[in-house]
Amino acid sequence: MIPAAFDYVAPTTVEEAVRALAAGGEDAKVMAGGQSLIPVLRMRLAAPTVVVDLSGLTELTGVHDDGDWLRIGAMTTHHEVQRDPLVRRHAALLRLATDTVADPQVRHRGTFGGSLAHADPAGDLLAPALALDAVMVCVGPDGTREVPAAEFFVDYFTTALAPDELLTHVKVPKLTGWGARYEKFNRVAQAWSIVAVAAAVRVSDGRITDARVGLTNMGPTPVRARGVEEALVGQPATAEAITAAATRAAEGADPPSDGNADAEYRSHLARVLTERAVTAAVSA
């Protein structure tokens, strides 16, 4: 299909982009890599009056060392995140999750920030961002603000971004030396996650001293498996302890029922994948 008519703006600075969004109001749409927006436009599931294309904002690209944090530009492609040595060293969970996103063509065009701002609950980067306690840096007419991942994802395809705000960067705490694993269950290669689990674990002297676990597609937003984390910390890094902790994976989740799986099956998958992810992370 052919998209509905819209105005097109290609700003060269963040300030220009914010002004264009403010002028466009709630009917404006931001285009980053376009891998989610363009299909939606073609199917006329969205009909914005103006599209603000961020592809010219090179200031929003790249991974940077910022002390105890990594600072990842919102326009950094998935491919760049995959290959970046800082990500590999300090945020292995992000690389592992990004490896599962779509296919090479999409990973070369799609962007890290675009995926997070799109907020698809089946998207593979939301749960890792939540588990890692990432912080979203947003810029609007009133200046810059930082939003923790736990507050950024609000509902299905909905974030805390105001209509006239941009996600410019993401701050990711360094988890150097932690084991990590992203376990994804889907029916065919390149498909969205039916359920997935993002796990990062720190082990010292045979005991789990810290754990982060996030769930993909177990509710309208990514879910932090706090019960699993509480059950793991302080326990020996054994199969028995991990199995016991994984039974709490679905606590507090609100899994959907759809054509791929019902809520009960998703809860079962969450437990199984949590055990697999934590076991692999402990051994990493």
Q: What is the pLDDT of residues 220-272, one digit of tens each?
A: 999 999 999 999 999 999 999 999 999 999 999 999 999 999 999 999 999 99
The answer to pTM > 0.85 is yes
Over the stretch 196-210, which tens digit does the pLDDT of each residue have?
999 999 999 999 999
Cα separation, 93 vs 91, in Å, equals 5
Query: What pLDDT, in 10s, does the model give residues 13-64?
Result: 999 999 999 999 999 999 999 999 999 999 998 999 999 999 999 999 999 9
CA distance between the termini of the chain: 47
- Return the pLDDT at 147: 98
CA distances from 15 to 73, 117, 147, 165, 168 (A): 16, 19, 20, 10, 11
CA angle 280, 193, 133 (to 5 degrees): 60
Give the model's pLDDT for residue 191.
82
Question: Domains in the chain, please, with CATH?
Answer: 7-53 (3.30.43.10), 62-173 (3.30.465.10), 179-283 (3.30.390.50)
